Every structure is written in C-alpha cells, then in structure tokens.
Structure 1
C-alpha cells in the first residue's frame, strides 16, 4: 500500500501579502472546512477500479459497494482504519481534524472499495499524481493529492504584490509549499497581483517569482537571509486565542502571563466578565506555557488539565496552537 501515493495541502494565516492556486479549480476527494478535512467519495465519479493484489484495472457499470476506506500516506496506507460513512446511495464521507495531519505540505491518498479495489480518478482530475511502486511510476494508476496549504477566496492569508502589470505570470513559492515553482499562481488585479490562502498558524518564508525572476516581498519588512545571499520574506500566521478564568469574582486584578510575552507581570490585564475573567490574544502556532496572576498570586489554569514542567522546574498550563 505504501508504494501507491497521494498528496494534500492545508493553510491558515492572518497577514496581508500575495495569492495562490487557480481558485476556480476544485480538488477532488476532499475539502477543508474550518479545522477539519472532509473526505468525500462519490461512486458516480469513478468508472475504473484496480484490483489491489493483481493490479488488474476493471470497469464497473454496476458495482456493489459494501464499504469505502480512505487510505493514504497520512495513515500508512491502512485499508481499514479510516472507514467512511455512507451519506446516500452513491456518496461516502469521513471528517478528520487537521490536527491528525503533520506539517507535511502534501499527501497522496486513495479510496479503497470493499477492502480490495482502488478507485481510479480520471486524468482530468486537477489534483492527481501517478502512483509509484519501487521507484517506478505505474502505468494508468493515479493517486489523489491533498494539500495542507491551499488557495481560498476567503483564506486567512492574503499575499499581494503591487505593480508588475506587464508580467505574464507571477508565482508564490515558500516553505509552505516546498518552494514549488508552479503550484501557486497569483491572480492579476487592478493594482498588481494577489493570492489568498488557507494556512495553519506558523512562521513561514516565501518569495515571488515574476516571469522566472525570484524576489522578496518589497512591502514586507520582515525577512531573513537565505543560502544564496539574498532574502526571503517572513510571515507569522497567528490565531486569536481566548484565555478564560472562571470565578475569582472578588479579585481586584487578574493578569495573563506566559511564554508568549516573556512572563510579563503587568502587560496583559484580563477583563472581568459575568463568569470570571477573559483575555484574547493572537498566538503563533506551537506550544505556549501560561499562568494567571490573581491579585499577585500565580496560579495554573484550573479549567485546563494540560500542564507540564518548564526548564526551571515550575508547573505551567499549556495551550497548543495548530
């Protein structure tokens, strides 16, 4: 199973800069909704199936489907772990959290019918890749590709490049798509070029490719030197995160302090609510330690069971941003 591969990409952002994919192009087999990946198999979209053990490709006009499973790089090509739920006569679905996927940019996957047949996507499917076995591409056998970073008109990150109106093609490439020189084509606008992406919170590097010429983002002051003696632009995608402390209604002041603000004891003054105290702050992806300071007394979050020791031997509450 591991020899047959598929790819995926997902993305989340809160910064303003350039564009991505042909947004009108709809990927087959999955869609991303908020913090979930929804896999969808529609039997009417497939006319050919490959017998797993023999490699024989078969046509099915009236195929009796008993079960459908999502199998891919993300679950070690398992034939039974990700069983799909039947929606109607033709359609099956399975919803998985984005947190079930690692930070790999893309994944390959396939649908297995009746634990024995690979559903073969049409060559016209935009997100397909030739299946590989023992280093060789298999003739007529394709996998679907899933991307964890993807273009979306309502994406949380907007990349913009002003000017260059005479350019024929502008590409957005970065650490979020393995610096692919073709995948994320930007859209022409009245002021230049733009691309909106859905991206997971994290720190990313990127550049624009204008008619083959690589360049940093001229409107982004955040950059880092690369191995070619030039600069990559840098974006830090954050998610607004609410911290809540219930009770302590008689407290005069409650402070939120953590690794995200160098444990400042005065900066983040929480707001009093009818249930207790609240503070909302944008956080980058990753692990964050924190505590509350209630009238000068440090306490862990009683509403969060996730805690761990820091390097100094103190126990802190932990918030993971993915």
Structure 2
C-alpha cells in the first residue's frame, strides 16, 4: 500500500510535468512479446528505452527517453498530454523489442492482461495523477480511531481503490495530503475494512448503497488580468462562475492595468470584463466562444 512517504516506481510528478524515469538497476527480468520471461536483464545491451502504455496505444517507437547517465533514462511530458482518467498502465520497452518487467513488490503494479486474460507473473506499472504530496492541495483528516490498525482513503479520484492510499497515523487521528486536479470528488474512509463517510464534512451525497459519500471540491486560484485601461474608474470581472454578476468581482488596479484572483473548479469558464459599464472580451486571450445566445466570451480552462 502506498502511504504519504511511499515511492512509486517509474515516474514522478513535478508541478504540471510528468517525468518518466527508468533505471536499469531496478530490473532483473525482461520479456519479448511472447511473455516468456528471461533472466539476466543486467546483461542486455541497452540502445534505447521507450515509454509504452495505455496513453500512447502501447507504442514501442513513439515516446523515446533520453539517457541521463550510465543507468538512467528520463522523458518529460506535460500533464495536459493525458486525458482526465485517474490512472494509466505502462511499461518500459528496451531496444523497441523487450518489455522491462517490474516485480510484484513494486507499489504501483497491475497484473498484465492479454486478450482479456491475466498473464501469470507479468505486471505493468501504473501512473496516477492524484498522488500523496505533503505540500498538496487536499488534506484529508479523520479524527480519533487511535486503535485502528489501518485507515485507507478511497474515492472517485482513485477509482475507489481499497489499498492504494494508506493514511498516516498522527497525534489526533489519521491524515493524508494529496495533490489533485481541480474537480469535484466523492470519497470515504476504510477503517480496518469498514467503510465510512467523513464525520467532519457536512458536504455529502447519497450513494447506491443507501449510505453517504463525502464530497470535496478542489479549486485552483486563477488570476484574471486586464492590461491597459489605466484611466478606467472601475473594472468588473464577470463570468459563468458567478452567474454573470455585474457588481460582485471588482478588480484591483495595478501598474499594468487590472487584476482579480479567485478559486475556480476544474473545467471551462466563460468570462468578460466590464470597463466603466462597457462589456469587453479579454484582448490578451485569443480563445473565445459563442455562448449559444449570440454572445462571444473569452474562455478560461482550469485543469
């Protein structure tokens, strides 16, 4: 199980960048497509390493890694290159022919499946976009239950996995901090095998078992800037995020123009500025859309 201090193999996430990392010293087995396992991986003459997974249709010749030293290869990808799925299975392919086989002891593995059947002794690594990070944007806490042996955090952000996110025991209960994409998520705690809602979170929704899932809304602070218009007396930010209120979000005057920062949930947001009573789109944002009523609005995407 993966706690806050755990280490997932094969990748790390740095801000908006996913860094795939292959170290040949971590592997002792490889296999051709026949899945007949070979030994002595250390004796394989490595000429190239490719990241292959669900995100690139298991290609053996697209996502080439760069060699950083005698043993390690890396590849950096923007998190925007991936869909909104929570997890993806992947492997490293050596010399465009051999699959590096992780061990069943690795913290982020999944049994490989071919033609709908699990393959004995063969595993894929898994990559997650919600992951434990002590500096993350979502801290989950469960007070009490000091005598519990194990508390797991499960939710829509990890496909309700019953083992992945093991919470850490702290002085007054249990705690785990995650880094998550902005969105609305449902979750529950599993205390020694027993599922329960978060007793300290009043936001909840009934589930299919006639119980309740707790709800958390992860937002991202987003800065809206209007450059110029320094002679204006008042500028208002208005958009789909506040039902196009014409008075609520009064922007702050800066040397370059005007600014307003507010937390937004993930997804697409339409907006405009109201400059001394005149509605305008954002002149520094080329992304615009019709709203279905004949109006053109600027677009802000929060991911």
TM-score (norm 2): 0.95
What is the root-mean-square deviation in Å for CA atoms of aligned residues? 1.6
Select the residue among 126, 130, 134 that pairs with 1:153.
134
The residue number in structure 1 matching 2:167 is 186
Any residues of structure 2 matched to 1:90-101 within 5 Å, and which? 90-101=71-82
Q: In the alignment, does 2:298 pair up with 1:317? A: yes
Q: In the alignment, does 2:67 pair up with 1:86? A: yes
Higher relative contact order (CA 8 A, sep 6+): 1
The residue number in structure 1 matching 2:8 is 27
Any residues of structure 2 matched to 1:216-255 within 5 Å, and which? 216-255=197-236
Flag the 1:229–1:62 CA change in 2: closer, same or farther, 3 A.
closer
- Name the CA distance, whole Å, in 1 between partners of 2:66 and 2:147: 50
Displacement of 1:31: 0.4
**Secondary structure of the structure 1 residue equivalent to 2:21:** strand
Q: Which runs of 5+ in 2 are unaligned?
A: none
Using the TM superposition, name which of 117-126 and 298-307 deviates more.
Answer: 117-126
Displacement of 1:211: 2.3
**Secondary structure of the structure 1 residue equivalent to 2:61:** coil
Flag the 1:111–1:191 CA change in 2: closer, same or farther, 3 A.
same
Flag the 1:288–1:113 CA change in 2: closer, same or farther, 3 A.
same
Any residues of structure 2 matched to 1:1-322 within 5 Å, and which? 21-52=2-33, 55=36, 57-322=38-303
TM-score (norm 1): 0.90
Displacement of 1:250: 0.7
Displacement of 1:47: 2.3
- Name the CA distance, whole Å, in 1 between partners of 2:104 and 2:213: 36
**Secondary structure of the structure 1 residue equivalent to 2:157:** helix
Q: Which runs of 5+ in 1 are unaligned?
A: 1-19
Displacement of 1:198: 1.2
- How many residues were matched structurally? 303
1:173-203, Cα deviation, whole Å (9 max, x unpaired)? 1111111222222111111111111111100
